[in-house]
């Protein structure tokens, strides 16, 4: 991971950086900024983090990275919190992340205006906290979190495929979960070859529509099943003894926090064509409009319909343990197809930090992007990267427990703690003012929550350890 964090000042790009950042895409426009910037950009920044997008494109990227299938676990979080605490925690998660993502955007804009446009999270950390923080903390945890999201999405994709398979042919169970994970990996292998983050803008628009589609299905399905004669009696009491309830609360808070997780705000802002000022706020507004609509509708309707029996993924409640469906089969098939398709987009978005790192190490910025010198290493490195993620997902079908631990150590610091620290260190607001103390409180509270959530995740891993088997067909 050492190379993951090393970021030289060569990755800083002037805010007035012109057009595409490609030497071959100059089209006769020569100013003194572009000549210097093209020299300074490494292959990772030049080929993966192309600054060509508009604010609406960042809205698509942000929505795909935040509004993903893990939101279907929100009713499960509500089951450990109850109505009031559940809605309060969901609201706080939304308000704090919207606030912290805007802070990190303001810090990026400030440095761009000073002549240093940071294209990566670790570039920011290097400039603000120092090179060791970038090399040994921010760079590695960002890569682990993002790669963990790819593994988790591959596993979820396999589970969706298996559900579709069983709905289509409930008698035949010849194919196992790991077979479906490998098939999903084949799709991901193709999508992973899309060269740049900016190139994903059309896929991420479709992804935005898909997340609205399956969230609508989850909400409608919960209302339908919860209102039907087959509905079980609703129990909203908190299960378990005091210790289990307490750990359930911490686990639920971690679920909500990681559901809002992103971890790649600087990389998404890097896709914006300069000048960047004000564009990220518009993109975040698009994203959080979708967040409010989807998160609250799914969380509230799912908990209302199933109470404390709400499952880890709410659509699993639409079928019983024997495979009998409470909703029409076509409806379940359609919902799973929507989820499956969006998971492929989510996986590719979270592959971008890994792609950028691979490109920086194995490509040559002096050669054309589509030259054999760059295409062959890209094809090999990205194929191996996806193959490793899919192998881990197939081997460890209990990866959800591990991902909870990664989320506690990764998403919480990257999304809640570091943005407010970066803002305070960059703008140095008055210690007599409310901004400084609000940011300090956010940093302290979520650092404590991260530690508690990590303990809860480790406890869950220990409790589930007896059921762990490699390549299990869960």
What's the whole-number mean pLDDT along residues 430-442? 94
What's the whole-number mean pLDDT along residues 425-443? 94
Statement: residue 12 has pLDDT above 60: no
Statement: residue 315 has pLDDT above 50: yes
What is the CATH number that goes with domain 50-467? 1.20.1740.10
The tens digit of pLDDT for each residue in 58-101 reads 999 999 999 999 999 999 999 999 999 999 999 999 999 999 99
- Angle of helix 74-113 relative to helix 242-259, nearest 10 degrees, comes to 40
Residue extents of the structural domains in the chain: 50-467
What's the whole-number mean pLDDT along residues 363-389? 93
Phi then psi for residue 231, to 5 deg, are -65, 135
The tens digit of pLDDT for each residue in 391-417 reads 999 988 877 778 788 888 888 999 999
**Residue 63 CA neighbour count, 13 Å, CB half:** 32
β-bridge mates for residue 272, sequence order: 53
Burial status of residue 133 (CB atoms within 10 A of its CB: 0-12, 13-18, 19 or more): middle
Query: According to the model, what pLDDT value does residue 440 have?
Result: 95
Structure tokens at 196: 């740049």
Query: According to the model, what pLDDT value does residue 27 have?
Result: 38
Mean pLDDT score of the chain = 87
Statement: residue 30 has pLDDT above 50: no
What's the whole-number mean pLDDT along residues 230-238? 82
Statement: residue 36 has pLDDT above 60: no
Query: According to the model, what pLDDT value does residue 20 have?
Result: 39
Task: List own/partner pairs for 463-468 with CB under 8 A and 24 or more apart.
Answer: 464/398, 464/401, 467/398, 468/398
Higher pLDDT, 43 or 99: 99
Q: How confident is the model at residue 26 (pLDDT cuts 50, 70, 90)?
A: very low
Say which residue the tokens 């964090």 belong to.
Answer: 5
What's the whole-number mean pLDDT along residues 352-365? 93
User: What are the start-end ranges of the H helices in 260-371?
Assistant: 265-270, 279-306, 329-362
State yes or no: cis peptide before 15, omega within 30 of 0.
Answer: no
The tens digit of pLDDT for each residue in 118-136 reads 999 999 999 999 999 999 9
């Amino acid at each position: 991971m050492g190379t993951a964090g090393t970021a030289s000042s060569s990755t800083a790009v002037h805010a007035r950086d012109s057009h595409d950042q490609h030497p071959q895409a100059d089209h006769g426009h020569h100013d003194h900024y572009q000549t210097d910037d093209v020299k300074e950009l490494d292959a990772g920044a030049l080929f993966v983090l192309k600054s060509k997008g508009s604010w609406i494109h960042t809205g698509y990227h942000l929505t795909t990275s935040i509004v993903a299938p893990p939101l279907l676990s929100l009713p499960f979080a509500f089951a450990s919190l109850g109505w009031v605490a559940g809605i309060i925690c969901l609201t706080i998660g939304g308000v704090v992340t919207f606030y912290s993502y805007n802070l990190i955007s303001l810090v990026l804009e400030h440095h761009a205006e000073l002549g240093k446009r940071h294209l990566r999270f670790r570039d920011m950390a290097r400039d603000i906290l120092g090179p060791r923080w970038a090399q040994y903390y921010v760079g590695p945890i960002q890569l682990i979190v993002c790669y963990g999201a790819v593994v988790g999405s591959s596993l979820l994709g396999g589970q969706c495929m298996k559900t579709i398979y069983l709905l289509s042919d409930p008698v035949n169970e010849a194919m196992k979960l790991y077979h479906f994970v490998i098939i999903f990996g084949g799709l991901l292998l193709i999508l992973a070859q899309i060269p740049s983050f900016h190139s994903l803008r059309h896929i991420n628009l479709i992804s935005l529509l898909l997340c609205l589609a399956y969230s609508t299905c989850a909400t409608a399905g919960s209302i339908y099943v919860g209102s039907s004669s087959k509905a079980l009696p609703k129990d909203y009491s908190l299960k378990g003894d005091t210790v289990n309830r307490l750990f359930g609360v911490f686990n639920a808070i971690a679920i909500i926090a990681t559901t809002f997780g992103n971890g790649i705000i600087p990389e998404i802002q890097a896709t914006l064509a300069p000048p960047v000022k004000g564009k990220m706020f518009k993109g975040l507004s698009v994203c959080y409009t979708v967040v409010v609509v989807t998160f609250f509708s799914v969380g509230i309707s799912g908990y209302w319909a199933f109470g404390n029996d709400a499952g880890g993924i709410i659509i699993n409640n639409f079928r019983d343990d024997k495979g009998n469906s409470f909703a029409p089969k076509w409806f379940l098939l359609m919902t799973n197809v929507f989820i499956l398709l969006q998971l492929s987009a989510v996986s590719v978005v979270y592959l971008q930090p890994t792609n950028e790192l691979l490109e920086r190490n194995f490509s040559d910025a002096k050669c054309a992007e589509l030259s054999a010198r760059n295409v062959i290493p890209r094809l090999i490195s990205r194929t191996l990267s996806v193959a490793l993620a899919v192998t881990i997902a197939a081997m460890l079908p209990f990866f959800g427990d591990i991902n909870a631990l990664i989320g506690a150590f990764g998403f919480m610091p990257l999304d809640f703690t570091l943005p407010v620290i970066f803002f305070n260190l960059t703008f140095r607001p008055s210690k007599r003012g409310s901004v400084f103390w609000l940011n300090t409180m956010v940093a302290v509270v979520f650092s404590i929550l991260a530690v508690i959530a990590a303990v809860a995740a480790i406890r869950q891993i220990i409790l589930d350890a007896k059921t762990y088997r490699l390549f299990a067909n869960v």
